[in-house]
Amino acid sequence: MGVIRDSLSNLDDEKALAEVKKALDANTAPAKILEECQEAMVAIGDAFSAGTMFVSDLMMAGAIFEDISKLVLPKIKAAGTGKSGGKVVLGTVKNDIHNIGKDIVANMLTASGFEVIDVGVDVPAENFVKAVKDNNAKVVALSCLLVTCYDSIKDTVEALKKAGLRDKVKVIIGGGPVDQHVVEYAGTDAFGSDPQECIHFCEEAYAK
């Protein structure tokens, strides 16, 4: 492998999609393919930070990854465990429109037996609160890729508190920049770096 990562990093959509199809035909694990794509996205992000790529390149990369996801995510869903978990409210926080990582987390949770209430991107705090109430969910999972959106996480936690729901739900955050400092700043319960950590967190929340 490596060829998927390289073709996506070079924004070569035709080659990237052809290589993904080839890998799936050869029964490569979907998670492995996504991992390689994520490496490419980090490289593209770094090139953007360094000024050698531009927003238009990020958009192109996002579009290619979405096409790749359409091929790969159904395989993840289909490989479901048959277990029945609980309900998880998932969304990208207000002022952040990145959806690719969130969608991967959604599919992996679904494949692990959880019912995901996906509230979308750029989600105001009150929408998370409403979804928790309407679905009686025990977990809220927030995706955040922008350092400028930490206050959106904090606002969501505050809104859950105001609604009297904070004791009833566990809140996990994830996405590139979040870490333990953000957990403490915003008052969440944990952070996770990948979908697997989100799954473990949800399993623990529902085991109690």
What residues make contact with ligand B12 under the rule CB under 6 A?
38, 41-42, 44-46, 48-49, 55, 58-59, 61-62, 65, 95-102, 104-105, 141-143, 145-148, 172-177, 192, 194-195, 197-198
Q: Cβ of residue 108: shortest distance to ligand B12, in angstroms?
A: 8
Nearest residue (CB) to ligand B12, 139 versus 159:
139
Q: Cβ of residue 208: shortest distance to ligand B12, in angstroms?
A: 18
Residue 80, CA distances (Å) to 38, 71, 84 in order: 22, 16, 10
Q: Cβ of residue 128: shortest distance to ligand B12, in angstroms?
A: 12
Nearest residue (CB) to ligand B12, 21 versus 54:
54
Nearest residue (CB) to ligand B12, 76 versus 141:
141
Q: Which of 38-77 are b and which e, b meaning 16 or more Cβ less than 10 Å from the residue's Cβ? A: bbbbebbeebeeeeebeeeebeebbebbeebbeebbebbe
Q: Cβ of residue 21: shortest distance to ligand B12, in angstroms?
A: 19
Amino acid letter, residue 58: L
Q: Cβ of residue 73: shortest distance to ligand B12, in angstroms?
A: 11
Nearest residue (CB) to ligand B12, 136 versus 147:
147
Q: Give the whole-angstrom CA distance, residue 208 versus residue 194.
A: 22
Q: Can you list the alpha helix ranges (DSSP code H) found in the chain? A: 3-9, 13-25, 30-50, 55-78, 100-111, 125-135, 150-162, 180-186, 195-207
Starting at the edge strand found earlier in the chain, the sheet holding 115-123 runs 115-123, 87-93, 139-143, 170-174, 190-192
- CB neighbourhood size of 163 (10 A): 17
Task: Assign residue 11 a region (left: φ > 0; alpha: ψ between -120 and 50; beta: otherwise).
Answer: left
Q: Cβ of residue 186: shortest distance to ligand B12, in angstroms?
A: 13
Nearest residue (CB) to ligand B12, 53 versus 129:
53
Nearest residue (CB) to ligand B12, 159 versus 174:
174
